[in-house]
Amino acid sequence: EGFLIVPGVVTYYRADRNNPWKYCWVGFNGTEAAKICSQCGISLEHPAFSYADPTRMETCMRELREICDSGSNEFLTLSRLYEFFSMIQREAAPAGKRAGIVEPALDYISKNYSYGITVGQIASHLGISRSHLFRVFKGKLGLSVQEYLLSFRLKRAGNLMETTDMTIKEVMYSCGFNDLPNFSRQFRKVYGMPPGAYRSISTGQKAKI
């Protein structure tokens, strides 16, 4: 992954203490700089970007550095710089297509939530990176994919507790959870009570585990 630092704008960043990064940077300017960033989906509002093939990106940046260090001709330097931008652009969804990512994601969740799917699997199904899916999803719905997925599962669980005689464990498994204490804890956060109490109040029936 990478991010844009704009000249004249104070920027603070740090690596994760438990999972530190290694990084390199490319400095560029010129009359086309803003246009290129826009075409790559990078801006002050959305400074981060990602790419699916880090090895290829690292190779490109290493070659770019070697060319600059050797004092080779300007055209060769520019060719590598444009190659660098082209890789970022391929990962960036055009503005008009961003909404087209969210709808397939919602459809995939609604059809597969019971299978214990992960955010990584959703991104893989859509053919995009997790970080790109996060940015588009968050920008469109105001929720992360993980938050939406959890909310969807819990709403479905509440509905099943109200309308079926499934046991608590059956509801848990059918909604994509596999740990009863965690399911009960998450259920309580949303409904203000554990699943058994919710069923008793909603249906007048004593819940079965």
CA angle 158, 159, 160 (to 5 degrees): 90
Q: Is the model's pLDDT at 7 over the cut of 70? A: yes
Q: Where are the domains of the chain?
A: 2-88, 101-207
Over range 182-193, report the average pLDDT.
Answer: 95
Rounded CA Rg of the chain: 23
Q: Indicate the range of 54-63, 92-101, 171-180 predicted with least confidence.
A: 92-101
**pLDDT value for 186:** 95
SS3 49: strand
Question: Angle, nearest 10°, between helix axes 54-70 and 74-91?
Answer: 160
Q: Is the model's pLDDT at 147 over the cut of 80? A: yes
From the list 45, 48, 52, 7, the residue with the least C-alpha distance to 27 is 7
Structural contact between residues 24 and 65, judged by C-beta atoms closer than 8 angstroms: yes
**pLDDT value for 93:** 52
**pLDDT value for 29:** 82
Q: Is the model's pLDDT at 48 over the cut of 50? A: yes
Strand 48-49 and strand 2-3: pairing? antiparallel
* Structure confidence at residue 204 as a pLDDT band (50, 70, 90): low
**pLDDT value for 116:** 85
Q: What contacts 135, CB < 8 A, 6 or more positions away?
A: 46, 48
Over range 166-174, report the average pLDDT.
Answer: 94
* Dihedral sign from CA coordinates of 75, 80, 85, 91: positive
CATH architecture of the domain with residue range 101-207:
Orthogonal Bundle (1.10)
**pLDDT value for 95:** 47
